[in-house]
Structures are given as C-alpha cells and as structure tokens.
Structure 1
C-alpha cells in the first residue's frame, strides 16, 4: 500500500480526530469529515458500542493499543480485536505491532522524539518489523528529522501531540508530515 493510499484511508485532508473521551468521540462521528478516528480512550466493555457507532457513520476506528484497557497486550488480545473488526492500531510497542500485522491490521508505530538518541532508538526498533506508517510526537518535529525518518524507514510519517491551533497544524505539515492527529475538536 502506498503512502498516498494509507492517508486516503485515514483522513480527508490532513487531520485525523483523536478523541480522549466519549463526548469528543460522538462529536468526531457527527462533525468530522475524516473517514477515521483514533481512539485515545476506552476499554473492552465499551469498544463494541464504539465500533457499532463508527460503522453507522461509515468511519474506521484506529485503536491506540497502549491506551485501551481490559484487553491482554498479547497475541490473544490482538486476535480478539481483529475478530471484533478493528482494522488499524497505533502502538509504541514493536511486539504488539508485529502481532497486529500478523492479524492483518494496519499498524501505525508511535515514536516519542525528545533528542537524537530517541531517533536512533526508534529506527532500531523498526528494524524488527515494518509498520504501515510512523506517528511522531510531538508534531512540531523539525523538517530535517521528518525527512531523515521518512528516508531511513521508507514509511509515511504523521505527527501528533502539542497541536493547539490551525497554525500549529500548518507548521507541522510544512515540516513534511503527511497528516496529523489532533485531540482538540476545533482542529477537526
């Protein structure tokens, strides 16, 4: 799948809503043009309801595995999510990413970049498997770092975190990110 195809699946434009609570999730379903929503909240008890609502609105849910409660962070848990209909996940853990890939899910690997050592560590983590895309945090990463990671990994690059204004989004996109995830409703 090409980077263009991945972003076409994920967003209509350049912003993917990433709600942190149920009220924001409902808002994203109703008012966001994005075909996908990144869940930054929830547990296994409410996930079936969230999936049902997403289907009604013809939206895809990307589950942030590290933030989903009540499901084992192992092969059985990943298989269970795939059987529920979760088609895409985000994680900071390579083992979960590998398992999700094996289960046929789209995988976005999230990297927190604080310094050049974090970049090296992130690239080394990705040598063991190939996710479909990277999400860099914070989204204000310099253009040179975005370019380096895109070139080194061959992956499309999103950004997330610390986006408060439309100008923040424009800055992030101007630095080479293909899209961003945002938690603030005003940015969707």
Structure 2
C-alpha cells in the first residue's frame, strides 16, 4: 500500500472523534480515516466498521483509552485490531509501526522555530510514512517542511473553511486531515 499514491488520489482525510462522525464519514469519498477515539475494548470493532466500508483505518494511538506508550500497543492495534496503520506524537510508536511494515504517521506540533528545526531529527528517528503537521493553516511552514523532508506531509488542525484546505494543498501539503464534516465533502 503506497501512502503517497493514495494521498494523491484522496487528499482529504476524515478525522473522526465519535461513532456519529464515523457514520458521517462513510457517506464521503474520503479513503483514509484517522480514528481519534475508542478504548482498548472497542477499537477492534471501530476498525472493523471502517474496513467494512472499504476505507483505510489509521488509529491515533494517543487517543485510544487504555493504551500505553510501549511498542506492544502498536502490535495490538495492527495485528489484533487489524488497523492499516497508526498516527502518534510518540516517535517510538511510529518507529515500531514502520518497522512492522504498516503506515506510520508522525504527528507534530510546530509551535515555534525550535519545533521546526528539530523536525528533521524527529523524522530521522521515527522513520514515518508521512508527517502530520499542526496547526494546518501555515502555508509558509508547509512549504518549508516540504523542502526539508521527502515523505508526504499532511496538514491538520484548525482547518475550518474550504479556503484553508485549498491554501494548505496549494502550499504543498499532500493531504489534509480535519474533523469538520463539511470539508469532507469539499
């Protein structure tokens, strides 16, 4: 599964925070679903629903209640829950998912120049399939990040209008992730 090719064809990622969001995203053309909720007890069922609708299930490890930041949690999500990949702010989890051959997305918050300057090192350490940068409404920073790394860049956070999506994609983002239902149809 080549993530860059999927993002090229489907640059809108539905980020879901509830069962209601999940049902709504099934009505869209979004191919990739970021699952931002669940527990260790129900994440398998959530992933199963996503895959039953022919969509790619990426579990945000930081939002699944009951998960630890140990590598074994990644193995559980990928093998027991049958997810296609993970997204996390924890480099060790991203590295483990990559090592096991799954989609591994490093989420990072670019809040200042120090965070931006450490991004290359963070990517080198975690070996992700893609990086999700937040907040997503920073066209100059998106361009800078695209110049620093050679993996797909996903822009997420604070995207609330269609013009934000267009700006992020025009600045070089390979895709955007948003919880805004209206943008999933854009």
Superposition RMSD in Å: 1.7
Counterpart-to-counterpart distance in 1, 2:8 and 2:37: 20
Q: Is the 8 A contact 1:138 1:159 kept in 2?
A: yes
Question: How far did residue 12 of structure 1 move?
Answer: 4.6
| TM-score, scaled relative to structure 1 | 0.89
**Structure 2: segments with no counterpart, 5+ residues:** none
Matched, 1:156 2:152: yes
Question: Residue by residue, what CA displacement relative to the aligned partner does 1:56-99 show, whole Å, maximum 9, x if unpaired?
Answer: 21111101111111123212211111212112111111111111
Counterpart-to-counterpart distance in 1, 2:102 and 2:122: 19
Counterpart-to-counterpart distance in 2, 1:22 and 1:7: 28
Residue of 121, 124, 128 corresponding to 1:127 = 124
Counterpart-to-counterpart distance in 1, 2:8 and 2:39: 24
Counterpart-to-counterpart distance in 2, 1:148 and 1:171: 14
Q: Is the 8 A contact 1:54 1:61 kept in 2?
A: yes
Counterpart-to-counterpart distance in 1, 2:45 and 2:137: 34
Matched, 1:51 2:51: no
| TM-score, scaled relative to structure 2 | 0.90
Counterpart-to-counterpart distance in 2, 1:81 and 1:11: 26
Residue of 68, 78, 81 corresponding to 1:82 = 78
Aligned residue pair count = 183
Counterpart-to-counterpart distance in 1, 2:8 and 2:56: 10
Residue of 91, 109, 113 corresponding to 1:94 = 91
Question: How far did residue 172 of structure 1 move?
Answer: 1.2
Question: How far did residue 25 of structure 1 move?
Answer: 0.9
Q: Is the 8 A contact 2:8 2:174 kept in 1?
A: no
The aligned runs of 1:6-25 (5 Å cut-off) are: 6-10=3-7, 12-25=9-22
Q: Is the 8 A contact 1:7 1:179 kept in 2?
A: no
